[in-house]
Amino acid sequence: MPKVSDDHLAARRREILDGARRCFADYGYDGATVRRLEEATGLSRGAIFHHFRDKEALFLALADEDAHRMADVAAEHGLVQVMRNMLARPQDFDWLGTRLEIARKIRTDADFRDQWRARSAELDSATLSRLEARRTEGRLRDDLPAEVLVTYLDLVMDGLINRLATGESTANLEAVLDLVETSVRVNARG
């Protein structure tokens, strides 16, 4: 039997992830049934689950990808830039509309909660490092611990994701993000 190349396996994995991202965006976590995943990827369940243990592993692989991508942006440009990217290219983040289902699953499934937190930790760490660097440069307000500012920015991002997921108007959100960015700077205190 011929050996399948690593490039072919990587391409197949990418194909599955792209189709699954669309499927989760369209149907949510619970609605992304195996049958729908097959339709979205154009592959059989055997092909899909050859690469991923189960639907949860597939979903968490998408979370890993986004966590790495967002952490890279947050480390270089800040968490507000991650949010600006969400506004500019909502189609790249539409699967995050599953956040309500994720919240339920986090509350009821300890193993999933631990895995989700591990993925979120990378973004939180990158954001905290950037904020601490800005504080060292004298550009970040120093009346609050950096961890509080990370939580604040994370709450804003959750609200933005919910706004995008529900299809509500995104008018004025760039101005809101300007306000958020200004609120963490040293000149925000009056």
In terms of domains, do 96 and 109 share one?
yes
Asked if residue 47 and residue 110 are part of one domain, the reply reads: no
pLDDT at 65 over 90: no
Q: Predicted confidence band at 91 (pLDDT cuts at 50, 70, 90)?
A: confident
pLDDT tier at 1, thresholds 50, 70, 90: low
Parent domain of 20? 1-52
Last residue of a domain, one of 10, 27, 52: 52
Q: Output the average pLDDT for the chain.
A: 89
Domain CATH code at residue 12? 1.10.10.60
62 and 117: one domain? yes
Whether residues 81 and 145 fall in one domain: yes
Residue 89 is predicted with a pLDDT of 87
Q: Which H or E element spans position 14?
A: helix 6-31
61 and 1 together in one domain: no
Domain boundary among 33, 52, 71: 52
What are the pLDDT digits (tens) for 111-130? 989 988 888 888 899 999 99
CATH number of domain containing 174 = 1.10.357.10
Between CA 62 and CA 33 the distance in angstroms is 16
| Distance, C-alpha 190 to centroid of its chain | 34
State residue 138's pLDDT score. Answer: 94
Residue whose C-alpha is closest to residue 154's, from 106, 117, 190 = 117
Please identify, among 15, 37, 52, the residue that sits at the C-terminal boundary of a domain. 52
173 shares a domain with 145:
yes
**Domain count within the chain:** 2
Alpha-carbon gap, residue 102 to 30, rounded angstroms: 10
Flag whether pLDDT at 188 surpasses 70. Answer: no
- Do 65 and 26 lie in one domain? The reply is no
Instruction: Evaluate if residue 13 carries a pLDDT over 80.
Output: yes
Domain co-membership, 161 together with 81: yes
Q: Do both 108 and 78 map to the same domain?
A: yes
Give the separation between CA 84 and CA 86, rounded to whole angstroms. Answer: 5
- If asked whether residues 171 and 82 sit together in one domain, one would say yes
Q: Average of pLDDT values for 163-176?
A: 87
Question: Over 90: is that where the pLDDT of 165 sits?
Answer: no
User: Are 64 and 11 within one domain?
Assistant: no
pLDDT at 103 over 90: no
45 and 89 assigned to the same domain? no
